[in-house]
């Protein structure tokens, strides 16, 4: 389908998730217009079952026969050593699977797809962090045909993004499903705690855990006990009741349902509900029926989050349950074991989850026979550690008769499409040319000033300032010597003001800037003068030379490599790079940045995890930054990094709250372990 014909669709597609073949068939049975799914590699939901190529080719043929499209998620950070593998995979998707589009995070995939002669659409994931409208007209020239919008936007901001789209670019919006507390592409929490990166599809969901204020177990000896709360565990996004407002937004061609780790029951009910809302949203009875379907879809309580401009809400509920699934009740202790009095009827083969995944007694189990609401049933626990009384129990999947019949029908249809075997890739990948000279002595060390402090003093190192309404007020003389760091996230309602600040600094002769997303290139002149230093910052999440090459073609003069890479990956990149490279060497690197704000937790007050890890949060502008209490510190590795070819470093300064009593721990990030 051409991009022009996609834009002229009268109604947006209903885009369904699929983590396995049963969910794929459930989506088709419910009438999904398109399905997105992941493979065994390069998927941002690596814990889903995902698909092999042969299996996927038959499913894709079935979808096309049913008039549906299939999009593949290659939306992870691509390490240098994986570029050849990713390239061959894209080539096989083109030749063997015949999918309709790729959902990507890493700009490197734009080049890999072009070299593989991929003919489908290329969609920038929310993880790519396209958060402001200025860059949209430039994206088609890079090969991008669709942008998947952040889940933090308001209706007005979504409309603004649509109005800035050129004719050959379209938008996709999440309308239902799980919310992450941190901005997609700006969450390093799981990675900082142990190398399982959310940007690599292996997040262990630390935001879903229960935290307590203070230093946790380090204060118990002093008698300070605090109740743990899920400060960051979000409710599910649900735009069902406001879906009619989306139909008039230009270039919004896709309503996306989150849930690649959910079961076929969830997929079937959500797709059916949003089809009703799209096609018959003016009909009160149809809207009521859709809401009933979503109530039984077994998700978390719903929220519109920030979508309604005059009714924006923080989507967390620290005092309540935010586990996925329908809350059935809590465990009761009796003489013959732990019992449950479910709040709704249970059916044979219903799938229950006890507690949350980070609890030792967490367990999932199937019900063997039906039971009416309110009737006590004894649950057969298999684990050695029994959960305590009061643990919540959730219904997370079920198999109704109608759904089973629909799945059976589509399984018979699928049997008519045998699938195609994997074939060898017969073309080679052309690698970017490396740069001979990598040194930049004029910017060897950048030292940032804390964001909340106006520090006009000089430094023996090159001074760097976060670009804020306050910092731009410094004198011209000082401003010209400063490296100006743009924020890691720029929202649509603040991008025009930021653009004016940059224009003001540019007129005053400032030529040193660090852009913390590739798309912030749009704030600068199309042609940069010889003396300008436009550097791709560490929040660009750069991990391979193909991305660096794209940045060089965009006009960047140097680049910071992602600090979450492991030692071997970091040391291997400079000698292959088309640009001089830098690294954040030390300082407070945030584990996450959120637009949702804080409930029941104050700024600058330490809070701790059940494992004793201590953090603190601080608001800057519209965003909440969450910091670990132990800063990044790779200073002892500087000589090794210089020998590898790194040309410059940065230290991120921040004024932390008092953290007395917390044991010190190394701030090596993933230096000593491979990033998973």
Three-state SS string over 544-564 comes to CHHHHHHHHHHCCCEEECCCC
Residue 495 CB burial class (10 angstroms; 0-12, 13-18, ≥19): buried
Report whether pLDDT(97) > 50: yes
Q: Which residue has the higher pLDDT, 541 or 441?
A: 541
Whose CA is closest to 299, among 152, 176, 390, 172? 176
pLDDT of residue 665: 86
Whose CA is closest to 528, among 510, 549, 540? 510
Task: Please give the backbone phi and psi of residue 513, each rounded to the nearest 5 degrees, phi first.
Answer: -140, 145
What b/e string do you get for 454-479 counting C-beta neighbours within 10 Å, with b at 16 or more?
A: eeeeeeeebbbbbbbeebbebeeeeb
pLDDT of residue 47: 57
CA distance 180 to 43: 17
CA distance 166 to 563: 34
pLDDT of residue 441: 41
Q: What is the mean pLDDT of the chain?
A: 91
CA distance 468 to 586: 22
Report whether pLDDT(4) > 60: no
Q: With helix as H, strand as E and coil as C, how does 13-79 read? A: EEEEEECCHHHHHHHHHHCCCEEEEEECCCCCCCCCCCECHHHHHHHHHHHHHCCCEEEEEECCCCC
Reported as a single tens digit per residue, the pLDDT across 549-594 is 999 999 999 999 999 999 999 999 999 999 999 999 999 999 999 9
With a CB cutoff of 8 Å and minimum separation 6, the contacts of 428 are none
Residue 635 · residue 667 · CB < 8 Å: no
Write down all domains in the chain, each with its CATH number in brackets: 3-189+236-298+404-414 (3.20.20.60), 326-397 (2.40.30), 441-589+631-652 (3.20.20.70)
Reported as a single tens digit per residue, the pLDDT across 430-478 is 999 887 655 554 555 666 656 655 443 333 467 899 999 999 999 999 9
- Dihedral angle of Cα 57, 58, 64, 68, to the nearest 10 degrees: -90
pLDDT of residue 500: 97
pLDDT of residue 1: 40
Q: Which helix (H) or strand (E) holds 567?
A: helix 567-572
Whose CA is closest to 557, among 572, 575, 578, 540? 578
pLDDT of residue 3: 44
Report whether pLDDT(259) > 90: yes
Whose CA is closest to 147, among 517, 584, 631? 517
Reported as a single tens digit per residue, the pLDDT across 584-641 is 999 999 999 999 999 999 999 999 998 889 999 999 999 999 999 999 999 999 999 9
Reported as a single tens digit per residue, the pLDDT across 154-195 is 999 999 999 999 999 999 999 999 999 999 999 999 999 999
With a CB cutoff of 8 Å and minimum separation 6, the contacts of 200 are 44, 46, 76, 77, 191, 675, 676
Name the residue with tokens 């009909």.
Answer: 283
The token pair at 132 is 């402001």
Whose CA is closest to 35, among 6, 5, 9, 59? 59
CA distance 605 to 608: 10
CA distance 147 to 518: 14
Residue 187 · residue 591 · CB < 8 Å: yes
């Amino acid at each position: 389908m051409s991009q022009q014909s996609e834009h002229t669709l009268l109604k947006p597609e209903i885009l369904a998730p699929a983590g396995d073949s049963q969910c794929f068939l459930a989506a088709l049975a419910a009438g999904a217009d398109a399905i997105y799914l992941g493979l065994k590699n390069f998927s941002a939901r690596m814990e889903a079952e995902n698909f092999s190529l042969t299996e996927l080719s038959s499913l894709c043929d079935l979808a096309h026969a049913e008039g549906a499209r299939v999009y593949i998620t290659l939306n992870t950070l691509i390490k240098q050593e994986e570029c050849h593998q990713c390239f061959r995979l894209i080539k096989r998707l083109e030749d063997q699977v015949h999918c309709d589009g790729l959902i990507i995070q890493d700009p490197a995939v734009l080049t890999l797809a072009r070299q593989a002669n991929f003919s489908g659409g290329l969609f920038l994931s929310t993880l790519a962090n396209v958060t402001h409208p200025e860059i949209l007209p430039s994206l088609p020239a890079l090969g991008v045909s669709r942008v998947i919008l952040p889940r933090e936007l308001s209706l007005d901001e979504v409309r603004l993004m649509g109005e800035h789209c050129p004719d050959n670019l379209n938008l996709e919006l999440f309308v239902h499903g799980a919310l992450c507390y941190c901005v997609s592409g700006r969450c390093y929490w799981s990675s900082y705690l142990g190398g399982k990166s959310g940007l690599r599809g292996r997040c262990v969901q630390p935001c879903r855990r229960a935290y307590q204020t203070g230093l946790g177990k380090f204060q118990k000896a002093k008698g300070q006990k605090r109740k743990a709360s899920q400060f960051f565990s979000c409710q599910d996004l649900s735009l069902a009741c406001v879906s009619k407002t989306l139909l008039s937004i230009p270039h919004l061609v896709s309503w996306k349902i989150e849930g690649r780790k959910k079961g076929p029951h969830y997929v079937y009910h959500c797709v059916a509900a949003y089809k009703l809302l799209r096609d018959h949203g003016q009909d009160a009875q149809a809207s009521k029926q859709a809401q009933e379907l979503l109530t039984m879809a077994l998700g978390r309580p719903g929220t519109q989050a920030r979508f309604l401009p005059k009714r924006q809400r923080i989507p967390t509920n620290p005092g309540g349950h935010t586990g996925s699934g329908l809350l059935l009740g809590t465990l009761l202790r009796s003489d013959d074991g732990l019992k449950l009095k479910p709040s709704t009827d249970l059916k044979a083969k219903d799938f229950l989850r006890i507690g949350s995944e980070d609890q030792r007694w967490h367990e999932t189990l199937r019900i063997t026979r039906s039971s009416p609401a309110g009737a006590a049933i004894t649950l057969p626990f298999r684990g050695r550690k029994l959960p305590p009384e009061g643990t919540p129990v959730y219904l997370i999947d079920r198999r109704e008769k109608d759904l089973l019949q629909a799945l059976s029908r589509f399984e018979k249809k699928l049997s008519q499409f045998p699938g195609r075997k994997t074939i060898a890739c017969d073309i080679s990948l052309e690698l970017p040319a490396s740069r001979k000279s990598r040194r930049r002595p004029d910017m060897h060390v950048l030292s940032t000033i804390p964001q909340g402090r106006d520090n006009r003093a000089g430094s023996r190192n090159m001074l760097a300032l976060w670009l804020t309404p306050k910092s731009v007020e410094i004198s011209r003389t000082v401003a010209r010597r400063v490296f100006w760091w743009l924020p890691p996230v720029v929202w649509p309602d603040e991008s025009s003001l930021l653009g004016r600040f940059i224009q003001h600094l540019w007129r005053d002769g400032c030529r040193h800037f660090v852009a913390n997303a590739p798309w912030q290139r749009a704030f600068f002149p199309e042609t940069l003068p010889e003396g300008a230093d436009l550097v791709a910052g560490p929040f660009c999440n750069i991990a391979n030379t193909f991305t660096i090459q794209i940045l060089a073609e965009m006009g960047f003069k140097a680049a910071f490599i992602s600090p979450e890479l492991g030692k071997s990956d970091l040391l291997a990149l400079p000698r292959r790079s088309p640009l001089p490279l830098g690294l954040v060497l030390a300082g407070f690197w945030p584990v996450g940045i959120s637009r949702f704000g804080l409930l029941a937790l104050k700024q600058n007050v330490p809070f701790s995890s059940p494992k004793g890890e201590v953090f603190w949060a601080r608001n800057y502008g519209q965003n909440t930054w969450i910091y670990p209490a132990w800063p990044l510190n790779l200073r002892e590795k500087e000589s090794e990094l210089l020998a590898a070819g790194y040309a410059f470093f940065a230290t991120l300064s921040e004024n932390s709250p008092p953290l007395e009593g917390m044991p010190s721990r190394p701030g090596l990030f993933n230096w000593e372990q491979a990033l998973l």
